[in-house]
Amino acid sequence: MNVDSIRDGIVIDHIAAGCGMKLYRLLGLENLNVPVAMITNVASARRGRKDIIKIDADIPVSFDVIGYVDPAATVNIIRGGTLIEKKQIDMPEMLSNVIRCKNPRCITSTEQELDNIFRLTDRAKKEYRCIYCDTKAASL
């Protein structure tokens, strides 16, 4: 399989195998009007298998979303066909409007304009809880 290199854009690499589509949806990449390549189950020395997303445009992406889906992923910034920056991602302490609270009694269920905000409560378990009602976020 051949996927062309990109001139100006972003490569999200080292995504855990099977998590690429989740990341694609949460980043809203289906709404872009630019070339986006998603490669799944690529052999990886570091992870065994991995997914890769290539975005052939200089657009902002949410590092919080990437860190939520897979904190071991890396983001490569490409300009003029050259890698200019490689960012290591980590789990964000707070997530705002990435996921919704599943508790029907949470204030975010009745107050639709209220932001859905979750805080990281257990890094080892990748556990986030709603700041309003303390409900645990659903697993990815």
pLDDT in tens, 65-96: 999 999 999 999 999 999 999 999 999 999 99
Count of residues making up the chain: 140
pLDDT band for position 44 (50/70/90)? confident
Rounded to two decimals, the pTM is 0.88
Residue with tokens 């992923």: 73
The whole-angstrom separation of Cα 136 and Cα 118 is 9
pLDDT in tens, 5-26: 889 999 999 999 999 999 999 9
Domains defined along the chain, listed by start = 9-88 (3.30.70.140), 94-130 (no CATH)
CB 97 within 8 A of CB 115: yes
For 126-133, what is the mean pLDDT? 97
Locate 72 and state its tokens.
């071991």
Locate 24 and state its tokens.
């694609």
CB 42 within 8 A of CB 64: no
